[in-house]
Amino acid sequence: MRRSPRRSQVLSSGHPATDSHSALLTTSEVAGWLRISPRTVYHLVSRGDIPFARARGKLLFERHRIDAWMAASTRGPILDEPTELPRVIAGSHDLLLDWAVRESGSGISLECNGSVDGLARLASRRACAALVHIPDPEGGGFNTHAVRSTLAGLPVVSLHWASREQGLIVAEGNPLKIQSLKDLIARRARFVRRQAGAGSNLLFARLMKAGGAKIERLRALDTSANSESEVAEAVVDGYADAGFAIRAVAQRYRLPFVPLATESVELVAWRRSVFEPHVQALLSFARSRRFAMHADRLGGYDLARHGQVCHNG
């Protein structure tokens, strides 16, 4: 059984840093960020020209959406022909992608800090692609709203990577007999969360709400896990009783799995990057029989729609 030598290497604080691209900004903060007056910000809001939200009458701005809005407003060749993009795929942690990047010899690096962070890095040209699985706010779909709103006007393309089974992973033998989300609350299970901005965290919240389970009653740990594997390691180490992750991770760590949903995972990339040799090496490898066989061995993956174009900006 694989274990983490030190928990401090596995878990990080559940509170995002104040300079995170997923942080919320006030009117004065976004004015400072854009170097304009608060009055100009109010004018942009009144015209619907800038992405914003209201919470009890207060204006709030998601920094990653402001970055994307600025990128979409840029004029000139850099918008249409981005050059020298880093050979980095940001976004969600995925066992199949991690393996394929290595085995394809693509030379791509992974910086997996969650789906929301991945789109922000893509919009600000700190990555050539991002793997995302963000639930749409309406209906049961994935990624459409997030990609179109965050990357509006940018020349990006989104390709279906895989469908994955998501659910609860629990301690060996499932001593608390957890079979549903409500069981997490009823049995006072210690639950390890994913970091803010992770697609899994957003999906878990949606499932809790749909199932009538009150997330504020969850016995969540003070620390969060930054990847699917870290969730499993927290359960294996006895630090948590349960976590939310994909079936493939549960099978790798030989932990019981309670399926709850199937999600759609997409690889979003700058259109030009798709034709670069490093990305082509990955995409070509992902069409191979060896790739399909490995996905089958991992478990919980469905490649029926792999490569399908979901968005072409």
Tens digit of each residue's pLDDT, the chain (313 residues): 444 433 333 333 333 333 434 478 888 888 888 878 888 888 888 877 788 888 777 888 887 777 766 655 544 444 444 467 999 999 999 999 999 999 999 999 999 999 999 999 999 999 999 999 999 988 889 999 999 999 988 899 999 999 999 999 999 999 999 999 999 999 999 999 998 889 999 999 999 988 888 888 999 998 999 999 999 999 999 999 999 999 999 999 999 999 999 999 999 999 989 989 999 999 999 999 999 999 999 999 999 999 999 988 7
Sheet bearing 53-55, strands edge to edge: 24-25, 58-62, 53-55
- How far apart CA 67 and CA 150 sit, in angstroms, is 9
Which residue reads 């789906």 in tokens? 115
Query: Which residues, at least 6 apart from 161, have a Cβ–Cβ distance to it below 8 Å?
Result: 94, 96, 97, 131, 265, 266, 267, 306
pLDDT computed for residue 71 by the predictor: 58
> What pLDDT is attached to residue 35?
79
Contacts of 218 (CB under 8 A, 6+ apart): 184, 185, 191, 208
Q: Give Cα 283 distance to the centre of its chain.
A: 20
pLDDT value of residue 98? 96
State residue 153's pLDDT score. Answer: 84
Q: Which two tokens stand for residue 95?
A: 């066992």
- Contact in structure between 11 and 17 (CB atoms under 8 Å): no
Q: For residue 48, what pLDDT is reported?
A: 75
